[in-house]
């Protein structure tokens, strides 16, 4: 199985799980709207029609907010797991490389943080804050500047 097929298969599974979650959220949302509507019908003598409409409208609005909240929480969890994996893999690779350098299997590729020779800069360094560039331009005969 190629890497593209494996990636596509995993993406497909992710879409299926998102659709499953969306269906469950919509069922929960429909239950909230049904409860608000049933309450509005049951209490029709004690509440005004405007308040009943407001309750049903807020029930519909809460469902959208609930959907957004759950999607954002699942995205946060997915991204956190990805970051944990990257840190784990990079830390493991770094430790393995460090152990191989200490064992002498690999040459050291980076300089030490502290050197034995301390370089002392002259007093008042730098004296000026300018950079000079020497630029030469060439062109072919067909491309005149």
CA distance 1 to 9: 11
CA distance 50 to 57: 10
Q: What is the pLDDT of residues 52-100, one digit of tens each?
A: 999 899 988 887 888 888 889 988 988 888 888 787 777 666 677 667 6
Count of CA atoms in the C-beta half-sphere (13 A) of 112: 5
CA distance 79 to 42: 45
Q: What is the pLDDT of residues 90-131, one digit of tens each?
A: 766 667 766 766 776 666 655 666 665 556 767 777 777 787
């Amino acid at each position: 199985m190629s890497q593209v097929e494996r990636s596509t298969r995993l993406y497909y599974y992710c879409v299926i799980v998102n659709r499953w979650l969306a269906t469950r959220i919509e069922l929960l949302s429909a239950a909230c709207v049904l409860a608000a509507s049933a309450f509005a019908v049951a209490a029709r003598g004690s509440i005004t029609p405007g308040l009943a409409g407001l309750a049903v409208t807020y029930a519909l609005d809460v469902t959208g907010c609930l959907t957004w909240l759950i999607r954002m929480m699942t995205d946060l969890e997915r991204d956190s797991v990805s970051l944990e994996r990257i840190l784990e893999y990079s830390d493991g690779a770094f430790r393995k490389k460090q152990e191989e350098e200490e064992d002498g299997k690999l040459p050291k590729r980076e300089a030490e943080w502290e050197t034995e020779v301390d370089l002392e800069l002259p007093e008042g360094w730098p004296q000026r804050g300018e950079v000079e560039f020497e630029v030469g331009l060439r062109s072919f005969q067909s491309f005149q500047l």
